[in-house]
Structure formats: C-alpha cells, structure tokens
Structure 1
Amino acid sequence: MACGADQQSIPDSIPDRYVAFETDHGRLYRQQIQPLLDKRCIVCHGCYDAPCQLNLASAQGVDRGANTKAVYNGTRLTAAPLTRLFEDAQTVREWREKKFFSVLNENSAADPLNGSLLYQMLSLKKQNPLAAIAGHNEIIPDDAFDFSLNPKNICPDISEFENYAEEHPNWGMPYGLPELASSELDVLKHWLQAGAPLTELPELDAVYQQQIAVWEEFFNGDSIKERMVARYIYEHLFLGHLYFEVLENNNSEVQAYFNIVRSRTPPGQAIELISTRRPYDDPQVDRVYYRLQRIQNSIVAKKHLPYALNDERLQRFKTLFLETPYRVKELAEYIPKQASNPFETFAEIPVSVRYRFMLEHAKFTINGFIKGAVCRGQVALNVINDHFWVFFVNPDLDALTEIDRFLSTHSEQLNIPSEQESNANILSHWTEYSKLQASYLKEKSGALNKKLKDGFDLSLDWIWDGDSHNQNAALTVFRHFDSASVINGLVGQPPKTAWLIDYPILERIHYLLVAGYDVYGNIGHQLSTRLYMDFLRMESEFNFLALLPGEVRTSLREHWYRGASNAVKNYVYGYAYLDIEPDITYPEDKPAKEYLFEELQQRLSRILSERYHLEQASVPEAHRQSLKQLHAVRGTSASLLPEMGLLLVRDRQQGDKVYTVIRNSAHTHIASMLMEQSNRVPKEDYVTVMPGFVGAYPDALWQVESELLEDFVTKLVNLKKENDYQQVMHQFGIRRSHNEFWQFSDYLHQIFQQHDPIEYGVLDYNRIENR
C-alpha cells in the first residue's frame, strides 16, 4: 500500500501541542492519556519493532508519528538512515522531513477526530470488534490477521485510511486484540477534541538534582585519567536505565530513570546531545561531557536495563578506576578501527580494573546484548542455546597476572567486525576475522598450556566465586526463539552446555553486540556480527570443557555439535587446545559433567540466588508440589508448549502468584544460522518453571484457580497433540479473543510492578500465539 508520507508535502504549519505540566490539559495528558497508552498501546508500540515505527511510549513518540520503513530488515544492502527517538531529530518538522507522518490531526481545517489516524484506527476496531470474528476465548480464524513474526508493513496515513478500512475492516487497533472500553475511547476523544495537548515530564525534585550533580562531577573530572575512565564507563553503561537507589528504595515504582549521554555542554548547563551511530564514534568536539539525561518514555520490559547508582557504587568506581595506581599518558582517538577495539583504546587502564568493572555487574553486561537494540533478535540470538549456565574466570587468579602484556601484544587479533561500521562487505572481510581469531586462539592456547606446565593448577579456583557475596558470579540464560532472558543463579535442570567467560570474551561480546551493533546496519554488518558471535560462544564453551577430563571433552563437544560440519567443530576446537588435565578428582561412578556442575554449585553456594527456584519461601507448598511435576516433562509434551508463558494462580488463601513456564527447545547444534528448524530435536525439549516474571514477550497467558492447579499441570504433562493444547487454552488460557483480556493484562502488570518495581516494565504482546 502506498503511504502518504512519501507523497504529501510537509504542512506549512505544524501544531505545537506542548503545554505546561501544571495546566488542566497537562494533567489530562500525564494522568489519563499516557497511562492509557501504556496499558493498551505500548504492549505493541514501544520499541524499534513497533509496527510502522509508531512508538507511543512518550509524548515525543506520539507527536512524531509513524513511518513506512521497517527498522528490522536483514536483507538491506546499505545501512538505513537513523530514526532513533530523542536522538536523530528534535522537532516534529525534522521528523516530517524524515518521512514520519502524524497520527494526530495536523490539518487545522479538519475535524479533530476525523483528522486523527489514531482515533480512526481505534474507532475501526470499535465498529468491527474482535468478538464478531472469534467467540469468547476462541482461536481467531487464520485469514483474519497476520500474526507472523514478519508481517507485511502496511502503514496508511489519514488520507489513505478509507481505503485501508475498506480492505481490512478487522484491522483496527489494538491489532488482533479486543477493542478499548467505551470509557477509554471517550477519554481519548476528549483529549483529541482539545487539540491532543502533550506535556513534558515534570521537573525533578531538588534531591534528584543533588544526586545528578554528584555523579556528573565524578564523570567529568579534568585529568587525562579521569576523562579516559569516564569514556570507558560511558561506553559500557550507555544503554542502562540508571536510577538513584537511595531515592527509590521505598517506592512501589521507580520515579525517574536516566541515561548517561555525551554532551557538548558541561554540568550546570542544558544538555546538548552528541548523537552518533555508536557510542565510540567521533563526537567531533574538543571536550566531551558525560551527563545524566532523564528518560522521557514509559519503561517497557524488553528494553529495560536497570542499573543502580548509590554511594557504595560511586566509592567502588573511585577505588577501582582512580585509586588503583596506573598512568594514562594520552586520550585515545576515535578512529573506527581503534575505537571499536577496547583492547587498544583502553590499553592503559589495567585489565584487572576493566574486568572487575564488567564482572561485578555481569548480569547487566550480558543483558546488554539481550535487551539492547535487538528488540527482535532471532538472527542475533539463534547463536545461543535455549538454556545454559554462565560462569566467569576468577579475576584474582595468579595465572592471569600476565594478561595485560598478552593482550597488548595480541590486541590486533581481537579486532571485531564492527570496525567495518554499518555497511560491511561480508565476503571481503570475513576471511580476515576468521584468520585473526584462529591466530589468537593458537597464541592463547600456547600461553595457557605453558602457564599450566609451569605449575599453575587448572582447578575450581579458576571459577570466580563472587567474592563470597556477589550474585553475578553465576547466571542462567534462557532463549525464547527471538528474545532471551538473563537471571541470577543456576536455574533449571543442569543444561546441555555451559560457558566459562574470561575478560577478552566478555569485552568482545559487549563491543560486538552492544557498543558496536547497529540495528540499522546492512546485511553484511548483521551477518558478520552473528558469525563472529559463533566464535565467542565456542570459545566460552571450550573454557568450560577445559575443567573436564581430556577424554570427556571430545565426546561432549561431539554431542553439542551433532550434525555440524567438521569445519565448524574444528574451528575453535581445532585452534584452541589444552594439553593439561584439570586438578579435579572425578569419581568413576558419576558422569563428569554432572559431577562438575555439582562441584560448581557447591563452590558458589554462598552466592547462588534462590529467587527463581520453586523451593523459595514465597511459593506456597501446594503450588510447588504441582508445578515441580512440569520439570519432568520431556519430548512431545514439552514441544507443544509455547516458548514462554505466564501463569497466574488465583489463590484466596495464599494470595495470587505468577509463574513463568519456559520451553527449552533442543537442537543438534546451533552453528547454522539459516537452518535452525532443521536442527531441532523436539524429543529432547524440556520445561523450566520459575516464580515471578522472566521474559518480556509472553507467548501464552494462563489463569488457574489454585484448586484446579493440579488439573492444569496434569493436562500439560499429558499433552500428545495440538488439539490437547488447544483444550488447555480453552479451559485455562487467556487468548487474544478473551472478553476480559485487558482486565487480565492490567492485573498481571499490577502484580509485576508490586513484586518487582525495579525490573518492572510493560510486557510486549506481539508474540502472543493464536492457538
């Protein structure tokens, strides 16, 4: 369908909708309109993958409007123009010049409702409700909507709406979900008829300003050392949602989150944002200032990376970065090849300092590539297994004392594809990175073998124990097809694989998939990023295998890569080698991997989080006994379950509880980017159940009365075919067509916010299955 933004001229007069927060219209927007958009709209329109780039999580997004171009496009030959909200344009006119068209009324001669695409879309759904297509909680006919992962991008503007409504009468908003209540639509009508006034967030209290001043003083020291440190911290925290822990501890919701940004102006002046594709791109100013900028949009779970700022952390930064004795001679330049390689850029900051910084908030570090720009990340995430545990090399290990010298000698071998920026030619550059990685692995293996032969034991002391208090030492990763989750602790049954991450791996993961990844990049950039991540996964797995007896390493590697070509299996495992047996005594009567997992759990017992275990105290015993049965589900029954579902157990005695049910999809191997389904092994699928919310994209929603929980679990355990699952959904599911879908959604979010105000964000309903 053609779109008017490509055809219409930019209006001569664009309404200025912003009013003071304290006015009646200001309060109308902040107290009624944005909360309504949060509850009903940003469950689909809150990220890069929002249909038609319509992001309704802020006043600025509402005012910006929609665009016909999809951000996620894995086939484009050249990088797309940047359209990041708050960054790549500052005025509505600038957005119109970038082909964004209004969803409000910008025609002064038009009726406020007739001229508003937003209202017309909502009204179309009211005229053609979902109940007219599918009965209460029934499966919606396949031809009614396109629920595929990559639906056709149909983005009409107001001039094309009549044709759109005629061709797709059922495609009003919310798409594929029940209509808004009449009272909700009336509130929106009143707002639109008043001219759709918008308002900025209110001024922050003085206590916030005081905290901002303290941190901006730290980030903007004048010495060369302080400026280098600030750059390093910024390039690792730029995606974070920073909050002041001392101000938020007693609230049911966090009042203010901040981004650390680069500004042309120093603290005390208004921020003048330096906007570049990547955080390490040339700012083109003599002096960069690092500032805390308040996040204007409502928080969505899929992008939420909370990071606490407190006195303890500030002192830790000072101790780690400034009081550690080392000298920085000069500031690094912003040449792309150097800036994309942190081993060169920050070579003068000791590795022990950099590794400690990343390690002590490792969950945040790993979450960067899972919750960053990749709102829709199958190409980025099909490089990892559905369930694995993550451990880290001990930063205090004597054998690592020479790592600074080793990395400075071999830093060029650690160049990564992001140095080619966003228009990479994969064919001409890929061989270069393959050779560099192979060379690095050979050198690393040689150095490690020599060190071990010189008397350093390869034992469980190589595993960081979190300094006996830091829960970041053990993490669990769950992949949900094109999204993923990272949580503290070793959760679920012992997985097929595990990673042991050292500093060079951790730093490359960040600069490959977070700092260096461009969601607007071309096919070469996206494919080379994914292929390089294969190396980092296999290197992490190799590190873990090193703790096992030599004869076990090969058999496990063969199992992990069943069906993969020898070229794939031998790439990392051919160049990386270990001649030394671990100094761990393995019993003959137990599989070595099983024993190693038990020993690691024992070593980390003091820091292992129990938050996501069914055995934790907050889980009622009756719930625990029923839900534990799902951990035994294997094969067909597991494969029929969705990737991730949220289960609300209604319990009048113990209180209502929410559990996450995850299907862990098995594969022969995950080294093939384009043939994932052909590598599936459904008979090896299994289930993990956890209290609370894990994941941002529920595929299914269930509601079960506590007295029927055992019946619900029994039905899941005995699933044999698709019809069995459909019967479960008919009895317990909250399908898209459920006539109380929105009431359920509101209650689910209420529980989420009450029980986990820091991690809370609005869920995404784009993946809800129609089964």
Structure 2
Amino acid sequence: MNKLIGIVTLVILSGCAYLGNAHYNEVFGTEQAQQRIVSHTTGEGANFLQNVKPVLDTRCVVCHGCYDAPCQLKLSSPEGIDRGVSKDLVYDGTRLLATTPSRLLFDATTTEQWREKNFTPVLNERVQTEEANLAGSVLFNSLVLKQSHELPANEILNNEFDFSLSRSQTCATMGEFDQLAGEQPHAGMPYGLPGVSRDEFNHLQKWLKAGGKMAHIDPPTEFELEQVKRWEAFLNQDDLKYQLSARYIYEHWFLAHVYFDQKTPDNFFKLVRSSTPPGEKIKLISTRRPYDDPKVNRVYYRFLHDRSTVLSKTHLPLKLNDEKLTRLYQQFIAPEYTVKSMPSYKAESASNPFKTFEVIPINSKYQFMLDEAELIIMGFIKGPVCRGQIALNVINDHFWVAFADPKKVATPAVGQMIMQHEDALELPAAEESNAFPIANWVKYSALEQKYLKAKVNLANEMFKGGEHLTTDLLWKGDGHNKNAALTIFRHFDSATVVKGFIGQEPKTTWILDYALFERIHYLLVAGFDVYGNIGHQLVTRLYMDFLRLEGEQNFLALLPENKRDKIKGQWYRKSPPSLAEFFKNNREFSQPSGITYKTNTPQKELYALMKEALSPVLSEHYDYKQVPKSLSAINAMPAKAVNLLPQLSFVLVKQDDDSHKAYTIIHHNAHYNISSLLNEDGQRAFDEDTATIVPGFIGDYPASIWYLNNEQQVEAFAEQLPMMQVEADYAALKTKFGIRRSHPQFWQYSDILHATAKKYRGVEYGLFDYNRLENR
C-alpha cells in the first residue's frame, strides 16, 4: 500500500498523469469533512497567516474572491477554502426559477452542510497522510498542472483559453481531474496567468502536505471591541423608536465595511441581524434580503468581524465614531414622532420603504442617505448586482450625480404627496425572487406614471408663484460634505462611483430627490436577489429605466423649457416605440427655468454653474486636468483609437526613486440610447466614444496594465496611443509597453500595482480582480 501511495505521489508531482475516478476511494478511503481551522496562536495557524495566506491572496484571491469567482471557489477566507467548489452558477441569466442561495456564513455553517449542497472539496478529505493530502487535493493538482504546462512567454494566448465571464466551468472533483488535465492541459492554476514562484509553490505544498490547517486573522483590538459594544448598545435599545431606526439604518448599511475612526484600520466589521443580543455569540439571521421576515421575536443588530481578505470590488468602507453616533441620534431619535408598533416583514410592505418607515420624518431619512451618498450608491455598483452587462446597460458610461436640497424636497407637502401615493412607489422586489417580466413592466409603468403625475402636479403648484428652479435646488453638502457631487462610470459589465464631477462634461446627469434615491437603493441593493429568476432580474432592470429617466428629468428641469425636448431627444436617439409612448403619456414639469442662459449651449452653461455652486465640496481626487501634460492628449483621443481600448487600463509610471505614479484610462462607450435590453451593440455610437485619463485608480477590474519606465516612455506611449488605427497597432503597443497576462514577470508587476494602489487608496484599498484581464 505504501509503495502504491509513493508511486501515486511521484506521478502527481511529475505532472504527467493522474489517478482515475474509480481508484481514489480504494487507495485513500472515502471522503469525510475535516476540522481544519486552528487558533492563530498555534504553529500551524501562524504558518498559514505568515506564509500561506499572502500567496493565496496575491495569486489566487485576485480571481477567486466572491460571488463571481469561477466555480464559486472563494479563497479569501478559511470557510471559503474549506467549502470548495460548485458546478452551479450564481450568475445565471436564464434560470426560470430562483435558486437556493449559497452565501458563506449564512446559508450553511459547517463543511458537512456545504457537502449536502453539492460543494466538493479542493483540499484532501480522505485519509490524512502527507501523500494523500497532496494526491487528493484539487488545489495542489491544479498548481502542479500549471507548473508542468507553463504559458508561452508574453504572447497572446490561443483559442484553447476562454476568458469570457460566461465561459463553461468544469469545477472538477479530484476524481474528474485526470480527464480535465488530459483535455485541457493549460487549465492549471492560476488560470491563464503565469504559475506561482518556486518559493510560493513550496509554501503551499508544505501547507497542503500537513493537512491544510488554517487560522483566522487576529481578533479585533480592545479599542474596536469597545466601539462595537457602544454601537450595539445604541442600536439595540428596547424603545420602539430605536428599534425602527436601527432597522432603517441596517437596511442601508448592511453591505458596508465598518471601521472605527482610524486612518489605517486593523479590522472591518459587517452590520448583521442576529437572534442573540449584545454580549452573546452572534447567531446570524439568514434571509435573501435584509428586510425579509427574520422569523424571530426580536432582531438584534450586531457587528460581525469580517475576517475575509478585502477585495476592491466589494469594499465599501464606512467610518463610525462619536460624531456619527451623535448625528444618528439627531436624525432618528431627537425628532418628535411616535412609533406605536413595529411594521410588518411581509414582502408587499417590507419591500416598500415608504410604507415601512412612514413615521420617520423624510428629512431624517434623506439626510441620513445624503451623509453617505457615495456609499449608498456604491451599494448597487459593488453589491450583488455588480456583475453583468444586462444589469448595467441601464446606465450611461459616464454621468454625474447631484442631489436636491432637503430643504426643498423634504418638506411636509412632499411628505404628504409621497404618503398619498406610496402604493404607486411599490417596487419589483414585492414580487420576491420569481417574477414575470412583461406583465410586470406594464404594471410598474402605470404606477410610475401615476406617481410622476402627482410629483409634477405638486412641483408645478409650488413654482406657479413666480419662483423658478436654479442651482439653489442642489444640496451643497452642508458646506463640507463631498458626497454632494458624484460621478458614475460604467465599464460595460462593471461600474465605479467616486466623489466629484470627474472627467469631461457627460452626456447626461441625474439629480436625485429623496423618493428617487430611496427607490434606487431598494430596487438594486436591498431588494435585488442575485439568486432570483430571469424575470426578477429583467423586471429590476426594466424598472431602473423609469428611475434613470426620472433623475434625468430632474436635471432637465433646470434647462430652458424650449430646449428640454431637443436635449432629451439627443439622449434617446433611435429609441424603441415603447419608450416614445412612455414619454408621450408622461406629463412633465412645465415651468420655465430660473436660470438666465446666455449661449446656445445651455447644458454646457449649466454644468459650469453646477460646478460653481458646489465648488466648496467638489472632490479633486481624480481631477483629469491634473494629469501631466505628456499624458493629457489621451483625453482627446480620436474615437477610432478609443474603440481599440479596453474598458479600464491601469498605467504605472516608474519614478527616479523607484516609487510609482498611477493613472487610469477609462473608455466611455457612446450609445444612441440605453433603452434596449438585449441589443446593446445595435445602440452603440462607436464614432462618439471618448476616453478619460485620471490620476490614481478608478475601477476594480483592470483589463490592461501598462508599465512605463521613464519619461521618454511616457511621451512615446502618449503619442502612439491616439495614433492607433487597427488591432495590430494595439498589439504592438502592448508588446512594447504592456504587461500581458502571459508576461513572465506578471506577478512581480501585479505586486507593484497593488503596493501602489495601497498608497493611493488608503482605507479604500482592496485587491483588484483579474477576471477581466484581456488577452491581446
């Protein structure tokens, strides 16, 4: 037997062949879940944290980090590693019925439970010997397969490699691995990237050979634990006013990465619902949505230490301190209102925040959202809806967002109007996770028209006395809050939101009021179920059409009355008949603008006036005018050259002291309109594409990485990039200045990229995701 195991080990280590499915149980015994998590204070735990976790993070988690990781393999936490892989897709735009969620910590709590849900191991779960731990590990065999089939150096990889997000996934078990290796010899890990270094391989091999023991990161500090205690005390008081306020706060912050007033926090926390009160061990309440019925008598809001690796694509940092605690008291507890009973958790009411939180003053709710507007909007950018072109083709590639002043839109008259029409503000999540798109589109179209009619009637009544809208309508951040002006970039199937009016003047802009802001959150964040059926996903996307139009309409109201239709017509060229009919049936704001325009380009004038009005709070963190002159020509690239660019390109420029400056080139895809659900290519205005280069890092999914060694290379790169005409020109530039995914030193440059990003982003830093790296 020992001889056989030795032969098996030699075969695997050589990377030449693998055992077949029928022999594994015979040679190593049947699979049985193992207890792998040990204390961080043990030798095995320290080895994992010091030698193994850094390799997994920088070489594996960059592709295997979250919902959209291939085969659901999440290597960013011990629980994810132990859970293993699944052949089921999380993102499936074709399923007719909602599927069962598979969220770590929530939908199963033990490895045995994950096995019952058809997750298969990547670590050996048969007999625990050194030989078996290597021979029976999918993770180890994937690493060996890569070592024995390295990539061609710095070349465009052939059709054997499929890097599309919708590619078929093998998700091989150990018994299936021999077939995978035979059919796809380049399927080793990291997939489509160079293998790990010899030292890194040795660390992983030693760890796996010893049984793959894992430890969690160090526990929170005493300071952090004290802060948790104070905040949990505030959120869990018995008074119904506190309970309702805590529910509202939770439903808006449940995605946030909370930290406690430190520039470089040691830890992050997630606000969760628990069936146990503060002081006891957290028992998570597992529901699809944050407002679903918890099925307990009392919900407690607790802070769970998030021990996973921080990923840029899901990182939503939120600082809590004494100032914020006081602010929440002033917003939710100090105002005079009475909560007589807690609202229902039934879907038809819980999905409608205007019903659920009706007694809380509108001004309180709106100010709360405005205080962290970037975070709230980032929820639909970085939340579960973040992956997929169909989910995001409802927004333009580049637009600005401003907000209506609470003093003007959180008035008693507005509150009364919303209360009278709260049924018309019903959201698709009321249908839960299984919906039928066509019938629901008709239903919600009628409801939206009903609400807009009431809103426009009120606005026309409010301004009939001679006062008209000017930039005084805009919330100015209370003189200090940079959340007052935001920019959203769409990158085809991902997106980014940042503070400030960034880049050139966009095609459109949104101005959000309270009801619109709230509905966007409950539509795309609180109410969106990534595990829902195709109908739920399509209805959500179709409803967002209405909300986008409403935000744009608020912006149009500031423009000259006789120019609004023409400007909107330019935004929606070649629109489908259904949208034209919606415009026709929708009564619009009929009052003239209060702004005196002096030119024939009023939208350009309005942008200048908005910048002037918000200048004290405009963030200049990503000011494209601060890019060095040598690179600034990229901002005016001809469309033909822009068409060749990927969605996001990161540029690293080496400095004399060996540090690096960073820039992001963003490709803006122009559209005739964005009202077509499945025919985006047919609506593309390729001749109108533009690009913006900004200092620092925008986006979480780099498609291209450029490395420039000196100023001469910077000038050559900036000169040649706008001159591109065909794909061959791009490929030549990539060979000269780019770091292809097949570059022999790819991981060395990846480390430089992340080290530079950490300096630029600070508390906002997280690992980038490489699933969208191009192969060009």
Settle same-fold status: TM greater than 0.5. Answer: yes
2:565 to 545, 551, 554: 554
- 1:369 and 2:355 aligned: no
Equivalent position SS for 1:647: strand
- Give the match for residue 617 of structure 2: 607
Distance in 2, matches of 1:398 and 1:670, equals 28
Shift of the alpha carbon at 1:398?
7.2
Aligned to 2:348: 337
**2: CA distance, partners of 1:457 / 1:88:** 53
State the match for 2:187 in structure 1: 171
Work out the CA distance in 1 between the residues paired with 2:141 and 2:587.
61
Alpha-carbon distance between aligned partners in 1 of 2:637 and 2:120, rounded to the nearest angstrom: 50
Distance 1:14 1:647 in 2: 45
Letter in 2 for 1:759: E
CA separation in 1, counterparts of 2:658 and 2:72? Answer: 43
Query: Counterpart amino acid of 2:157?
Result: I
Deviation at 1:297, TM superposition (A): 0.7
2:246 equivalent in structure 1: 230
Asked whether the equivalents of residues 34 and 58 of structure 1 are also in contact (C-alpha less than 8 Å), the reply is: no
Structure 1: distance between partners of 2:175 and 2:186: 19
Q: What amino acid is the match of 2:103? A: R
For 1:559-601, what per-residue CA distance to the aligned partner results, in whole angstroms no more than 9, with x for missing partners?
00000034313425641412210111000x3410000000001
| Residue aligned with 2:526, SS | coil
**Counterpart check, 1:724 vs 2:729:** yes
Equivalence for 1:80 = 99
Q: Among residues 489, 492, 499, which one is paired with 2:510 in the alignment?
A: 499
Residue in 1 that maps onto 2:17:
none
Per the alignment, do residues 654 and 148 of structure 1 end up closer, same or farther by CA in structure 2, a change over 3 Å counting? closer
Q: The residue matched to 2:692 in structure 1 has which SS?
A: strand
Does the CA-based 8 Å contact 1:538-1:572 persist in structure 2? no
Deviation, 1:468, is 1.3
C-alpha displacement at 1:614, in angstroms? Answer: 4.0
The amino acid across from 1:139 in the alignment is: I
Q: CA deviation at 1:163?
A: 0.8
> Residue 111 of structure 1: CA displacement?
1.6
SS at match of 1:233: helix
Amino acid aligned to 2:180: Y
User: For residues 229-248 of structure 1, what are the structure 2 equivalents within 5 Å?
Assistant: 229-245=245-261, 248=262
Aligned partner of 2:207 in structure 1 is: 191
Aligned counterparts of 2:469 and 2:89: Cα–Cα separation in 1: 50
With normalisation by structure 1, the TM-score equals 0.95
Q: 1:678 deviation in Å?
A: 1.1
Identity of aligned residues (%): 46
- The alpha-carbon deviation at position 304 of structure 1 amounts to 0.8
Aligned to 2:503, the other structure's residue is in SS state coil
Correspondence 1:660 to 2:664: yes
Distance 1:615 1:678 in 2: 33
Correspondence for 2:80: 61
CA–CA distance in structure 2, aligned partners of residues 418 and 596 of structure 1: 36
Partners of 1:42 and 1:489 lie apart in 2 by 31
The alpha carbon displacement at 1:8 in A equals: 10
**2:440 counterpart of 1:423:** no
User: 165, 178, 181: which one pairs with 1:149?
Assistant: 165
Which residue in the other structure is 1:763 paired with? 768
SS of 2:731 mapped into structure 1: helix
- Counterpart residue number, 1:642: 646
CA contact (8 A) 1:426 1:525 kept: yes
User: What do residues 278-329 of structure 1 show as CA deviations (whole Å, max 9, x unaligned)?
Assistant: 0000011111100000112101111111111111111100111111222222
Residue 576 of structure 2 contacts residue 676 of structure 2 at CA under 8 Å; is this kept in 1? no
State the distance in 1 between where 2:109 and 2:94 align. 29
Note the alpha carbon deviations across 1:335-389, whole angstroms, 9 max, x for none.
1000000000000001111011001111111110000013413221110000001
Shift of 1:452: 1.0
Match of 1:389 among 400, 408, 413: 400
User: What amino acid does structure 2 have at the position aligned with 1:25?
Assistant: E
Higher mean alpha-carbon deviation, 646-655 vs 112-121, is at 646-655
Q: Give deviations 1:687-744, integer Å, cap 9, x for gaps.
A: 1111111100011000012321111011111111111111110100000111110000
CA contact (8 A) 1:539 1:572 kept: no
**1:619 maps to what in 2?**
none
Which residue, out of 137, 140, 145, partners 2:154? Answer: 137
Matched, 1:750 2:755: yes
Matches within 5 A, 1:455-534: 455-534=466-545
- Separation in structure 2 between the aligned mates of residue 354 and residue 643 of structure 1, nearest angstrom: 36
Number of matched pairs: 751
Match of 1:120 among 141, 161, 171: 141
Identify the residue that residue 419 of structure 2 maps to in structure 1: 408
Q: Give the 3-state SS of the residue equivalent to 1:203 in structure 2.
A: coil
Q: Report the secondary structure of 2:559's partner residue.
A: coil
Q: Does the Cα contact within 8 Å between 1:21 and 1:199 map onto a contact in 2?
A: yes
Change (3 A) 1:427 1:315: same
How far off is 1:523 after superposition?
Answer: 0.5
Which of 352, 356, 359 is matched with 1:348 structurally? 359
- The C-alpha deviation readout for 1:396-422, integer Å capped at 9, x for no partner, is 127844111111100000001011110
Distance 2:83 2:765 in 1: 26
CA–CA separation in structure 2 for the residues paired with 1:705 and 1:281: 54
Give me the whole-angstrom Cα distance separating, in 2, the residues matched to 1:335 and 1:572.
34
Q: Is the 8 A contact 1:304 1:371 kept in 2?
A: yes
Match of 1:690 in 2: 694
Question: 1:12, CA displacement in angstroms?
Answer: 6.7
Structure 1 unaligned segments of length 5 or more: list them.
Answer: 617-622
Q: Aligned residue for 1:446?
A: 457
Q: Which residue of 2 aligns with 1:259?
A: 270
Structure 2 runs not aligned, ≥5 long: 1-19
**Residues of 1 paired with 2:25 and 2:321: CA distance?**
50
Match of 1:595 in 2: 605
The aligned residue for residue 47 of structure 2 is 28
Q: Tell me how far apart the structure 1 counterparts of residues 234 and 467 of structure 2 sit (CA, whole Å).
A: 39
Q: CA deviation at 1:13?
A: 3.4
Q: Is the 8 A contact 2:348 2:430 kept in 1?
A: yes
**Counterparts of residues 226-305 of structure 1 (less than 5 Å):** 226-245=242-261, 248-249=262-263, 251=264, 254-305=265-316
Cα RMSD, aligned residues only: 1.8
Deviation at 1:451, TM superposition (A): 1.2
Q: CA deviation at 1:656?
A: 1.5
User: Residue 464 of structure 1: SS of its match in structure 2?
Assistant: coil
Residue 12 of structure 2 corresponds to which residue in structure 1?
Answer: none
**Range 704-713 or range 411-420, more displaced:** 704-713
Q: 2:366 and 2:292 mapped to 1: Cα distance?
A: 23
Task: Select 2:113's aligned residue among 81, 94, 105.
Answer: 94
The letter of the residue matching 1:186 is: N
Letter in structure 1 aligned against 2:428? P
Q: Aligned pair 1:16/2:35, yes or no?
A: yes
Q: Which residue of 1 aligns with 2:11?
A: none
Q: 2:443 aligns with which of 422, 429, 432?
A: 432
Q: Provide, for residues 485-532 of structure 1, a one-character-per-residue CA deviation record: whole Å limited to 9, x for no partner.
A: 001111111011111111111000000000000000000100000000
What's the counterpart of residue 226 of structure 2? 210
> Counterparts of 1:650 and 1:144 in 2: how far apart (Å)?
34
Aligned letter for 2:91? Y
Paired amino acid for 1:178: P
Alpha-carbon offset, residue 20 of structure 1: 1.7
Q: CA deviation at 1:669?
A: 0.5
**AA paired with 2:94?**
T
Contact 2:409 2:513 (8 Å CA) reproduced: no
Partner SS, residue 514 of structure 1: helix
* Structure-1 residue corresponding to 2:13: none
